[in-house]
Amino acid sequence: MKRLFTLLIGLCLIPNLNADTKTPLQINAETFQCMLDMTKVRHFYIGNLDQTKLEATKAVAEAGQGEYPEGSIVQLVPSEVMVKQPKGTSPATKDWEFFELTVSPAGTDIHKRGYTDVINRFGGNCLGCHIKAKPEFDLICEQGHGCDPIPLPRSVIALLQKTDPRCGGRYTPTPEEMQILKQLQASLN
């Protein structure tokens, strides 16, 4: 009897091999295209890997709070994006995966991706900032959400969005804007 009890206890400690585990969504460089082709909500852009869930993503973004559905894409600048993975994929990040992208007229390369350890070009840990968002904002940072302020003024963020190199030159920056972009580039080197 003692052996049977020990065996049963041991079996309980083995993870349930038949559990319904979620597989992360398949994402590659081609997933990320010109951000101007996404849906703009206030000062950021949204999308969903599953077009049938785009309206649900848009509803949460427009409400400014709530839990984003699986497959949601949130992007503020061309080189950074977050994607909502299936529930349970990464409890530490509320299932958001962070991406640091290298973008050019030729397309997108994924420079870094992950959940808790992605560092952006400004030296900040993506989760380190987003985790400060109040719970009702599902790790989305906007003014008043509890996150650290972004080190760029909104006008520069808008300029980066309009000049996403993957967008085929839809916007031609003014000479003053070109100077701002050059200064920003120099600060990142």
Per-residue pLDDT of 158-183, as tens digits, reads 999 999 999 999 999 999 999 999 99
Structure confidence at residue 120 (pLDDT)? 87
- Asked whether the predicted pLDDT for residue 185 surpasses 90, the reply is no
Mean pLDDT of the chain: 88
Structure confidence at residue 22 (pLDDT)? 73
Among candidate residues 102, 84, 111, 114, the one with its CA nearest the CA of residue 164 = 102
Structure confidence at residue 50 (pLDDT)? 96
Strand order in the sheet with 72-77: 39-41, 44-48, 72-77, 80-84, 96-104, 107-114
Structure confidence at residue 172 (pLDDT)? 93
Residue range 153-162: average pLDDT? 95
Q: How far apart are CA 113 and CA 82, in angstroms?
A: 9
Structure confidence at residue 121 (pLDDT)? 82
Beta strands in 66-188 (DSSP E): 72-77, 80-84, 96-104, 107-114
Structure confidence at residue 184 (pLDDT)? 87
* Confidence band of 9 (pLDDT split at 50, 70, 90): very low
